[in-house]
Each structure stands twice: as structure tokens, then as C-alpha cells.
Structure 1
Amino acid sequence: MFTKIAALLTALSAIGMAQAHGVIASPPRRQPGSAFQSACGLQMYQVVSSDQYGNQQGAEQNINSETTAACTLYLCRGMQFADNSGNVQHYTAGQSVPISIDIRAPHTGVANVSIVDTTTNSVIAGPLYNILDAYSTSHTIPANQTSFSITIPSLGGACSTAGKCVIQWWWDARPIDQTYMSCVDFTQ
């Protein structure tokens, strides 16, 4: 009994220390839900839903026997379209889309925003916004790194079906080996 309590307290302590980092604040990003839990397992669901700002490498530490092939962590951090079908945005070619990023703990790195085809997990447009000195710890974070706009390119019908495409914000803090990402579902 004591061992189980100690293990639980250690796990809860680790979750508390992991809080922070960054996500898309708007437009609405993909969130974890029951489809994420089914694909990635209860343990990963609990960790990710308690800290959506966490890094990719932290999520990977929770891969276990419950994790299925549908848990594509390097696509929207594993967030599933089925949990987010009510948040699909519609954008037209040439439309300017304001993006807001919430950074809770800066780490020097690079960041970009691209359009990703979710069936192939490949960039089909972009980067639409690129930050070479992203969220640096050596100076104040410029406003244009947390509030900016992207222009939606013509995608030739590639994103006409909901769930097929996402706007993906990707931040790689290589000096500390941590990667962050958020996705916004949209159609065109």
C-alpha cells in the first residue's frame, strides 16, 4: 500500500513540475478527448489533458501498451479530429488569419506555422510564418512572436474536407531538446 501511495505522489509531483511552455491560444486548437484517450491510452490522456502546454518528448515518455498506431504524436501532438470536429474553421484563399500564441515558459528555439495534410502528415503549404529566434530566454519575447497573422494560400481543393488539413504551429527548442505543437482544423 505504501509503495502505491509513494508512486502516485511521485507521478502527481512530476505532472505538477511539467506545467508550462506553449500552445496556440486562438483560433481554437485541437484538444484531447475520448478519441485521444482511445488512441493514446489513459496514462497519456491524463498527462496531456492536465498540461496541454507540455512538450512532445514528455508525451513520448507515456507511451505504453495502451498506445495504438492511431496515436500519431508527431501530428498535432496526437490530438484527434474526432474530439475536435465542432471547432473546424473555414478560411478562403488570401484570407488573413490572426494567430495568438500563449507562452508560459520561454525556451530559445525556432518556430513556424504551416498547413499540414493530416492523411500524410506532410506540410503542403509553408512555412507561412517563420521565427528564427523564437521565444528566447536571452531577451524579451517580441510581440510579433505571440500575435501575428498568416495568409491562407490557395490549396486547390486539398483542404475541402474537415479533418484533412490543419494549421500547425511548431516550436523546437533544440538547446533543451523540447518540441511543442498545436493544430487548428480548417477547411477551404
Structure 2
Amino acid sequence: MFIKLSTLLTALAVASTAVAHGVISSPPRRRPGTNFSSVCGSQIYSIVSSDEYGNQQGEEQNINSGTTAACHLYLCKGLQFSDNTANVQHYPANTVVPITIDLRAPHTGVANVSVVATATNKVIAGPLISFNPAYSVSTPIPANQTSFSVTIPSLSGQCGTAGACVIQWWWDARSIDQTYMSCVDFTQ
């Protein structure tokens, strides 16, 4: 059986877009870089840098000998602050932060936005907003699930140092066992 090259390339193009799901598109989110590659390995780096919209489970399936203990996939998908120092935002207490989500493929689940301390990967404020259900496949997605604002509370000095805290958008679709997240580095 022979498959035409053009048919195969079309199928691959469709498959590559089908695996893309969602990320924060504004404000600037953490992105993959050389430090991410160093701690998570070149295979995970290749997966994330070619499709930043993917899920943590896809990364987990590719853990190998190049993945170090410093690769925390469930903290900002393992993406490293050291690759993103130019993207740090400053949000004093009571700042209203508009957030835009670029959603490419919905999956019904739950979602929220919280402030997370990066040293412990613990929520220290929030959820600041939550959606349940989120990104439904059976109903139109409300506009306020992809374009919304959160108010940053006073964090009592916990986020005074760049890299100490992130605003984390977290979306979990249990029915398909997929979790997505994006992080915005900020100081207060």
C-alpha cells in the first residue's frame, strides 16, 4: 500500500495542530529556553518548544536520563525562571491584571488562576478566579474564560524577589487525563 507524500504531510499537519490546546497569551508567560533544556532534557525541550500548548502528561511520558531532579513539570511545566528574566512583571497589591488565554482545542474540565510560590509549588493566593466547567466541548465557551482580569492581593513581601512567585493559569481535564498550565513571573 502506498500513501502519497502530500496526503501524509497533510495528516501530519492536522495531527500537530490537534495536540495543541491552550496557554496564556498575555501577559508574557514563561517560555522554553536553554536552562529548561538543561534541567528537563533535550527530548522534553523539543516537545515543549515545538508545541507550547501541550499538556504535562505529554512531558511526563518523555522523562528520560536527560531529565534532572530540578525539572518540576507540575510547576510551570518545568519552564525555568532563568530563561524568562526579561519577562518579569510588577504588580503592586490591588493591581487588576488582564489575562488572555489562547485556546486551540477545548476539553471540558476545571480551571483557575492563582499565585504560586515557586520554592514550594504551593498556592499562596487564590484561586483569584475559577471556572467549572471550563472549556467545554458541549457548549460554547464563554468569552470570560479566555479574556478576564484578576486582582492581585497583598502578598506580605512573599513575592518581592523576581522568580519567587508566579501567576499560574491551571486547567485540568480529567475525562482525558490532561493538565495544562502557563505561568507569569511577577514581583510585588
TM-score, normalised with respect to structure 1: 0.91
CA deviation after TM superposition for structure 1 residue 18, in Å: 5.7
Where does residue 51 of structure 1 map in the other structure?
51
Structure 1: any 5+ residue segments left out of the alignment?
1-11
C-alpha contact (below 8 Å) 1:18/1:54 kept by paired residues: no
SS across alignment from 1:23: strand
Aligned to 1:7: none
Partner in structure 2 of residue 165 of structure 1? 165
The answer to whether the 8 Å contact 2:18/2:105 transfers is no
State how far apart, in whole Å, the 1-side matches of 2:186 and 2:57 are.
27
Question: Residues of 2 paired with 1:82 and 1:17: CA distance?
Answer: 29
Q: What aligned pairs does 1:1-188 form with structure 2 within 5 A after superposition? A: 16=16, 19-188=19-188
Q: In structure 1, what is the Cα distance between the partners aligned to 2:52 and 2:128?
A: 24
- The unaligned stretches of length 5 or more in structure 2 are 1-11
Q: Note the aligned Cα RMSD (angstroms).
A: 1.7
> Which runs of structure 1 show a deviation greater than 4 angstroms over 4 or more consecutive aligned residues?
none
Residue number in structure 1 paired with 2:3: none
Whether contact under 8 Å (2:163, 2:185) holds in the other structure is yes
Describe the SS at the equivalent of 1:68. coil
TM-score, structure 2 length as denominator?
0.91
Q: Write out per-residue CA displacement over residues 138-177 of structure 1, whole angstroms, 9 at most, x where no aligned residue.
A: 0110000000000000000000000000000000001111
How far the C-alpha of 1:19 sits from its partner, in A, is 3.3
Give a deviation string over 1:39-82, Cα, whole Å, max 9, x none: 00011100110000001101111100000011000000000000
- Separation (CA, whole Å) in 2 of partners of 1:143 and 1:17: 22
SS at match of 2:58: helix
Is the CA contact (8 Å cut-off) linking 1:110 and 1:132 kept in structure 2? yes
Aligned partner of residue 82 in structure 1, secondary structure: helix
Q: CA deviation at 1:23?
A: 0.4
How many residue pairs match? The answer is 178
Q: Distance in 2 between matches of 1:42 and 1:95?
A: 38
> Identity, % of aligned pairs?
73
Distance 1:170 1:39, change over 3 A: same
Q: 1:176 to 1:19 in 2, by over 3 A?
A: closer
How far the C-alpha of 1:20 sits from its partner, in A, is 1.1
Q: Distance in 1 between matches of 2:17 and 2:40?
A: 22
